[in-house]
Amino acid sequence: MDSKISSWNAVLLIFNAIVPTAFIVLPTIIVTYLDQDSPWAVLFAYATGIGMAVIIGLIIKHNEGAPFLEWVSKVSSPVVSTLLGLVLLQYYLDASSSILREFVNFLKDNVLFQTPILVIIVISLLIAAYMVHQGITTLSQVNSMIFMLYFIVLPIYWFGLKNYLDIHRLLPVFDHSYRELLLGSMTPVTWYSEVAILLFLAPYLKNPKHAGRIGHRALLIITVLMTMNLSEMIMIFGSNYIKATSYPGFISLSVVHIGNFLENLDILFISYWMLSIYFKLGIFLFVTLECFKQTFRVKEKEPYLIGILMVICAECLYTWKDPSKLTALNAEGRFPIMMLVNLILPTLIYLYSLMAGKIKSRRKETPS
């Protein structure tokens, strides 16, 4: 087993498991529903996210950081555990392949126009596989070092855009109905539910009982960053322009310039984003592999890793070939799936284990 991950490394691991794709996918979807009220959707999602982090934290505290599916097997039955494992495995394979496809689509749209998709996919998967091979602790430590680069990248980004900010574009506040706020918040809530990967990271945490706190801190950092970025994008471009673009985040990056001597910095930001998405992919690949190991109760990872990589590669190539399908999934399809997998099923198992525990203790108390 890998050595343990410190709490802060775990926070940054969750951070990077959510932010890279959220940065490119969320703005257009949220702004479509909420225009200038979009930052409120992120705050609303955060409020919901706290609840999710608490539930995930309670589950991990309850099972004392045991491997999730092993614990499910103990509290219910091996059949339930295997069935749940299969559902989760399908979900994580799907999630990994869609993350990869978003990455590939972006590269094909913006940087590598001629490079065959298969080459990009294979190279990306090899990098992610190498990360997983090094173990989750190494991955989390390097991930934290990469996070530190934000302290260089973000000030340049914010400072380089200061001349274009117009606060009026964020007004009026609360111009949209609660229905629109709910619709706009659904997708960020979906992304925030990925905090559930803690269930599979728990055995590797130094302090599994702090899992709730880890999730909460990660969501707080994400919320601060996303709110600032989204507000900044709206203050620069206004909501109508954001709706018309596929990658508003990157357009705002291309606008960054400091005088005439520091411009065309988008490639710097894109490189950094690529770096962080490799980590996201690595994290999800690790969780997929963990899920596989726990579902089929195997100990070795190498032989299965290759198989998983091939499935992800095939799914990425063929299932998400049509970009509109991926957009529809992000906008509408993810919410029910991710809520079910990340929140509802684990919560049901948790509640069942609590009830079963109570019944057991009551039986013990009752003299036969």
Partner 1 sequence: MIKPTWARGRKVLYLGLSLCLAAVTLSGCWDDRELDELGIVSGTAYDWEDDQWRVTYQIINPSSTSSMGGSSGGSSISPPFLTFTERGSTVTEAVARSNLTSTRQLFFSHSRISIINVKAVDQGLPALLDLFLRKPDESETLFVFLSEREASDVLEQLMQVTKNQGMGIQLMIQQESRLTSYYPGTRMFELTMALSSDSHCATIPEIKLTKPAVMDKVEDTQVTDLPSRISLGRLGVLKEDRFVGWLNTKQAFGLTFLRNQINAASIPFSADPKKEQNDSTFSLLKSKTVVKPVWDNDHFVMQVGIRGEGMLIETGGKADLSKASELARLEKIIEEEVLEYVNAGWRAVQGLNADVTEFATLIHSKYPKRWKQIEEDNSWDQVFKEIEIRPSVSIDINRFGLSSKSYKSVEQN
By CB under 8 A, is residue 244 in contact with partner 1? yes
At its nearest, how many Å lie between partner 1 and the CB of residue 3? 20
By CB under 8 A, is residue 120 in contact with partner 1? yes
**Which region, judged by CB under 8 A, interacts with partner 1, from 2-10, 191-199, 230-238, 307-315?**
230-238
Using CB under 8 A, which of 177, 260, 324, 368 touches partner 1?
Answer: 260
Using CB under 8 A, which of 54, 87, 111, 221 touches partner 1?
Answer: 111
Q: How many CB atoms lie within 10 A of CB 213?
A: 16
CA distance 275 to 278: 5
At its nearest, how many Å lie between partner 1 and the CB of residue 111? 7
Residues contacting 54, CB < 8 A, separation 6+: 212, 216
By CB under 8 A, is residue 130 in contact with partner 1? yes
By CB under 8 A, is residue 245 in contact with partner 1? yes
At its nearest, how many Å lie between partner 1 and the CB of residue 299? 19
At its nearest, how many Å lie between partner 1 and the CB of residue 46? 25
Using CB under 8 A, which of 54, 80, 83, 127 touches partner 1?
Answer: 127
Residues contacting 138, CB < 8 A, separation 6+: 131
Give the DSSP letter of residue 35: G
* Phi and psi based region of residue 176 (left: phi greater than 0; alpha: psi -120 to 50; beta: remaining): beta
**Which region, judged by CB under 8 A, interacts with partner 1, from 60-68, 86-94, 247-255, 353-361?**
247-255
Using CB under 8 A, which of 1, 114, 151, 324 touches partner 1?
Answer: 114
How many CA atoms does the CB half-sphere of 129 hold within 13 Å? 18
By CB under 8 A, is residue 172 in contact with partner 1? yes
Identity of the residue, 196 or 234, whose beta carbon is nearer to partner 1 in the bound complex: 234
Q: Which two tokens stand for residue 233?
A: 């994008």
Task: Name the H helices within the chain.
Answer: 7-34, 38-63, 68-75, 78-110, 117-134, 136-148, 150-160, 178-192, 198-201, 211-237, 239-244, 248-255, 266-296, 302-318, 323-328, 334-338, 345-365
**Which region, judged by CB under 8 A, interacts with partner 1, from 8-16, 85-93, 216-224, 259-267?**
259-267
Using CB under 8 A, which of 6, 48, 76, 254 touches partner 1?
Answer: 254
Of 30, 48, 9, the residue nearest 249 (C-alpha): 30
Beta bridge pairs of residue 5: 205
Using CB under 8 A, which of 3, 77, 90, 240 touches partner 1?
Answer: 240
At its nearest, how many Å lie between partner 1 and the CB of residue 364? 52
At its nearest, how many Å lie between partner 1 and the CB of residue 184? 17
Q: Cβ distance 148 to 16 under 8 Å?
A: no
Q: How far is CA 295 from CA 56, 80, 96, 202, 313, in A?
A: 19, 10, 18, 16, 21
Residues within the interface to partner 1 (CB under 8 A): 109-116, 119-120, 123, 126-127, 130, 168-169, 171-172, 175, 236-238, 240-241, 244-245, 251, 254-255, 257, 260, 263-264
